[in-house]
Amino acid sequence: MTERTTAVAGSPADANSGRSRADSRRASRAAFVGTLLEYYDFSLYASAASVVFASVFFSGSSPLLATLQAVGTFAVGFLVRPVGGVILGSLGDRIGRKRILVFTLVLMGIATLLVGLLPGYDQIGWAAPALLVFLRILQGIGASGEYGGAALVAVEFSPEKKKGLMGSLPGMGAALGGVLGTLSLLTVSSLMSQESFLAWGWRIPFLCSVVILAYGLWLRRSLPETPAFREIEESNAVSKRPLFDVIRQQPRALLTVLVMTIGQTGIGYFYIVFMGTFGTNQLGFGGTEVLVGLIAAQLTNALLIPMFGSLSDRVGRAPVIMFGFLYSAVFAWVGISLLSGVGTPPLLYWVVMAAGNGIGVAAIFGPMGAYVIELFHTQHAYSGLGLGREAGNALGAAFVPVIAVALAFDDTTVYLSLLICVVSLLGFAATVLSRTRSTSPSEQNDNTAPVAV
């Protein structure tokens, strides 16, 4: 017995009324720039966790424990994201996409600013890492509603033949935000001594987020509500219990998004979080070499995401995503094995970072914005993304880098390759078994209840 979920009026494929080219451009710009600004904050923390936080906030621990604790605080932001995603996603389905996107930006900006003001372990002892964890939790809640909302805005405003490209823009913004965050740390560290950088210089990029917050808030406040959401509002079809509805009506879509996200984020954060600590501890690189590698990984990813998103408009979303997962599984054995230890040329490290995170993750992430939205009905799309994607984020992005840190202190890279290979094949299997909902005209007048056939 299989489950067929019926489409309803107001789904993204149907909501063409009220859409104009001008609104589509405004929405895509707000989704791209807003996500870029927000993930500058989020990824800045990731870069700092790799090269700064172990010595500033966990200086009382051994090198292994300090590294695990620093990466662990990064993971905490993902562990709270399912809760934030459920709450914010449900609100986004009931009161609209725009209000939630404004809220997430403000919350992220304030938390990031406070990280830049937080005293270190030498000043206030263990209160410093405790407060760091609290601020990371706030960042996680803010990020939990960001990508899903931005992707919904971009896709729900876009023409049918450009949904893959437009849906990739939040992913591109997130990757470029990571580049800006890492580049800001690299710039500051290059302009001062290592002692000054660890003492106070690393705080400058965090404090600069107040400017980013002001601009992002201005941009998103002028964003109109999507035509798809306006249509279900006008037809009184807004769900009163979107989270309950998506669990009851589309459990397969939820499971698909969860497993695909474990694969995508697990691979991505393996490169941009774990590989930073690997470059420092196992390869013996300094902060500059590691930050250049992080920039190479994120910049290549950002440039290729829209290419793969556009390709999915021509050949389909699933084939492109499956290629990304298979590529990542193979490259895990080829690329990581090249990094043999101290004496590895920095250039080789940078190439592995760019090829691993750039090609593989971009092929997955580019089409994924439109693809996961096409799995859900508009009435509970934000809730579906909030629950499925953020639960996958918690499992993939939180646990994979931490597991990798423990495996890295062995004498071989085989277990690291095996870890990424398994995560990649899980994502591939989920994509093969997934299916988008039907939006045929004959189904648009049905109700939203599942039908057993």
DSSP assignments along 314-338, one per residue: HH-HHHHHHHHHHHHHHHHHHHHHT
**Contacts of 240 by beta carbon, 8 Å cutoff, 6+ apart:** 94
**Rounded mean pLDDT of 306-332?**
94
Spatial CA neighbour of 416 closest among 321, 352, 323: 352
**Rounded mean pLDDT of 187-207?**
86
User: Can you tell me the distance from the alpha carbon of 120 to that of 38, in angstroms, rounded to the nearest whole number?
Assistant: 24
With cut-offs at 50, 70 and 90, classify the pLDDT of residue 96.
confident
**Rounded mean pLDDT of 298-312?**
93
Which pLDDT belongs to residue 175?
86
pLDDT tens for residues 358-391? 899 999 999 998 998 888 888 889 999 889 988 8
**Contacts of 82 by beta carbon, 8 Å cutoff, 6+ apart:** 144, 387, 390, 391, 393, 394
Which pLDDT belongs to residue 436?
60
CB 309, CB 164: distance < 8 Å: yes
**Contacts of 327 by beta carbon, 8 Å cutoff, 6+ apart:** 359, 360, 363
CB 367, CB 375: distance < 8 Å: no
Checking if the pLDDT of 95 tops 80, the result is yes
Which pLDDT belongs to residue 11?
42
Q: Does the domain made of 12-439 have the CATH classification 3.30.200.20?
A: no
Checking if the pLDDT of 8 tops 50, the result is no
pTM assigned to the model: 0.79
Lowest mean pLDDT among 3-12, 72-81, 179-188, 413-422: 3-12
With cut-offs at 50, 70 and 90, classify the pLDDT of residue 223.
confident
CB 231, CB 9: distance < 8 Å: yes
Distance between first and last Cα of the chain: 6
Which pLDDT belongs to residue 449?
37
**Highest mean pLDDT: which range of 5-14, 152-161, 267-276, 423-432:** 423-432
Average pLDDT of every residue of the chain: 81
With cut-offs at 50, 70 and 90, classify the pLDDT of residue 437.
low
Which pLDDT belongs to residue 426?
93
Spatial CA neighbour of 168 closest among 304, 265, 58: 304
Q: What proportion of the chain, given as a percentage, has pLDDT over 70?
A: 86
User: Can you tell me the distance from the alpha carbon of 35 to that of 40, in angstroms, rounded to the nearest whole number?
Assistant: 8
Spatial CA neighbour of 395 closest among 284, 264, 234: 264
pLDDT tens for residues 28-59? 877 887 788 777 876 777 777 767 777 777 76
Spatial CA neighbour of 375 closest among 3, 95, 17, 36: 3
**Rounded mean pLDDT of 1-13?**
38
Give SS3 for 109. helix
User: Can you tell me the distance from the alpha carbon of 300 to that of 187, in angstroms, rounded to the nearest whole number?
Assistant: 19
Residue 61: phi, psi to the nearest 5? -110, 170
Which pLDDT belongs to residue 394?
81
Q: What one-character DSSP code corresponds to residue 285?
A: -
User: Can you tell me the distance from the alpha carbon of 269 to that of 53, in angstroms, rounded to the nearest whole number?
Assistant: 17
**Rounded mean pLDDT of 334-354?**
86
pLDDT tens for residues 225-256? 777 888 888 888 888 889 899 999 999 999 99
